[in-house]
Amino acid sequence: MLDVALLSVLLVAIAIGYGLGYRQALRRRHRTHPPAASSQGLSRDYFVGLNYLLNEQPDEAINTFINVLAVNSDTVHTHIALGKLFRARGEADKAVSIHQNLLARPALSQHTNEQIQLELARDFMALGVHDRAQRLLNTLLEHSGDDDHRYAAKQLLVDLLEREKAWQQALDVIQPLLKQYPKMRRPAAHWLCELALEEISEASRPLAKKHLKKALQLDEKCVRATLMLAELEMDNGHYARAIERLDNIPGQEIAHIPTMLPALKHAYMRNNDDTGYEAHLYRLLELAPYTSTIIALGQLVHQRDGVDKAIELIGERLRAVPSLGGLDYLIDLYIESQRLSGKPSPDTRLLLLKHHTDALLLNRTRHRCQRCGFASDALQWQCPSCRFWGTIKPVIGVEGE
């Protein structure tokens, strides 16, 4: 069954085509007094197409309606709209047929021709035929005199290169646009991070560091670049420098405090500075009382002062900021406390509570895209759904941080 949106566009297209055909027939009648056959022919095709629709034969109906709708300056945008709709419905091959048919018409203006080429490039990208899309876009960039079309072509080309992980090529295309379009700084910073990862895998750490510093020049709030620079400092044994790097993250994006905690702990532990680590955790709690920070502090107190001190600390913190993760950790501490006190087995009520918190935590969402709502257990720097960079962050709230 044809969906409502496509049916609506088709009926509009039919109406336009019928109106244009009828108008042209009237003009001819005034000039040469022909018989009223052309409008009848159009009506016949119209009812043939409508019959296909009623018999749930959408492909045949579409072909009939497209044939009825003559390509000219008045109807070309209707054809383009049909192609867009096919692409949106996942039928990019049909969109290609429509747009290629339009390009075969020599009477169209250059502006319209370039608009169709952009749509055809989108069709090829939807089909995964990237080489043909890239050729079209490069041609537009070389020959188009329309600034809007050139910008659209650059955006599409960048999107294509990003999909192919051609980070340096994408940077080369976008570089001239960064001043005019500052929103492109964030993705460009992440492309530099991707290049840094490649350099690290090839043992070119100095070049990787250069890429990461440039990423921060483009986007001073790029948490990913700061984390990677801190890791490079730790790889070189510069733990104090790594801590300085990590200390910038709350100012870049406070929601990423939980993201930085494993690296922060590693840096302090390798630097043999438990006292500094504890003080740093307290400073982070003053900024934002996240569950991960509370648990990290509890683990430190537990190791140094014992389970009862950890229970006291966690209980006090949870009274102020309750959370499911914190409760689960507190239950673990109580179970351990009972075992240390000599009880043969923990209280069954505690075990039941632990069972429920484990089940709830197992199904919780740990990270969510702030733009489209995509949920992910692990942190991803590019959202797989909306494909925006740096929009996935730890979930904040009773079930999160």
22 Cβ contact list (under 8 Å, min separation 6): 39, 42
Is 307 exposed, middle or buried, given 0-12, 13-18 or 19+ CB atoms closer than 10 A? buried
121 CB-side CA count, 13 A: 25
3-class DSSP string for 379-393: CCCECCCCCCECCEE
Q: Is the pLDDT of residue 209 over 90?
A: yes
DSSP annotation of 247: T
Query: DSSP readout, 273-315?
Result: -HHHHHHHHHHHHHH---HHHHHHHHHHHHHHH-HHHHHHHHH
**What is the arithmetic mean of pLDDT over 60-84?**
68
268 CB-side CA count, 13 A: 19
- What's the CA gap between 105 and 76, in Å, rounded? 10
Q: The tokens of 282 are what?
A: 């307290």
Q: Distances from the Cα of 147 to the Cαs of 77, 152, 160, 196, in angstroms?
A: 20, 9, 20, 33
Q: Is the pLDDT of residue 72 over 90?
A: no
Reference 396, options 364, 349, 359; nearest CA is 364
pLDDT tens for each residue of 17-40: 555 555 554 554 555 544 443 444
Report whether 369 belongs to an annotated binding site: yes
| Residues of the chain above pLDDT 90, percent | 53
Report whether 386 belongs to an annotated binding site: yes
Report whether 372 belongs to an annotated binding site: yes
Q: Is the pLDDT of residue 208 over 50?
A: yes
pLDDT tens for each residue of 332-381: 999 999 988 888 888 889 999 999 999 989 888 899 999 999 999 999 99
**What is the arithmetic mean of pLDDT over 277-306?**
96
Q: The tokens of 319 are what?
A: 């009274």
**What's the distance, CA 386 to chain centroid?**
3
Q: Is the pLDDT of residue 42 over 50?
A: no
Report whether 222 belongs to an annotated binding site: no
